[in-house]
Amino acid sequence: MIPKCTIIGTVIAKPEKREELKDILYAQVDPTRSEEGCINYDFHSDAKDSCVFVFYENWQTQEDLDEHLRKPHLKPLFERQEELLARPVEIRYLNMISDFVSQ
């Protein structure tokens, strides 16, 4: 399946909330991967700054991503953003130039 929507989401924790935020974000992985339209959903931390978390996501359509953003398993993050985050979530949309190779 060739993704129609690819994003990189960057989430930056307040240092004192890093572990709590990491747990909240990690809890999103399995439910998101089982969502309709999710091709891949990969969770990373920055190698140089442990407060920076990055999601690399491929979705079949923009509508699938929009639906994902309304899912209840994202509420623990969205409802506590001011408390947990050093700055707002950044979402960068990408256009794939190479061929998509799935595993």
Domains of the chain plus CATH, in order, are 5-94 (3.30.70.100)
At residue 2, the 3 state secondary structure works out as coil
Q: What is the mean pLDDT of the chain?
A: 94
103 pLDDT above the threshold of 70: no
User: pLDDT tens-digit profile of 5-34?
Assistant: 999 999 999 999 999 999 999 999 999 999
CB atoms within 10 A of CB 37: 19
100 pLDDT above the threshold of 80: no
Q: Identity (one letter) of the amino acid at 70? A: R
Distance CA 52, CA 7 (A): 16
Q: Identity (one letter) of the amino acid at 10? A: T
User: pLDDT tens-digit profile of 50-90?
Assistant: 999 999 999 999 999 999 999 999 999 999 999 999 999 99
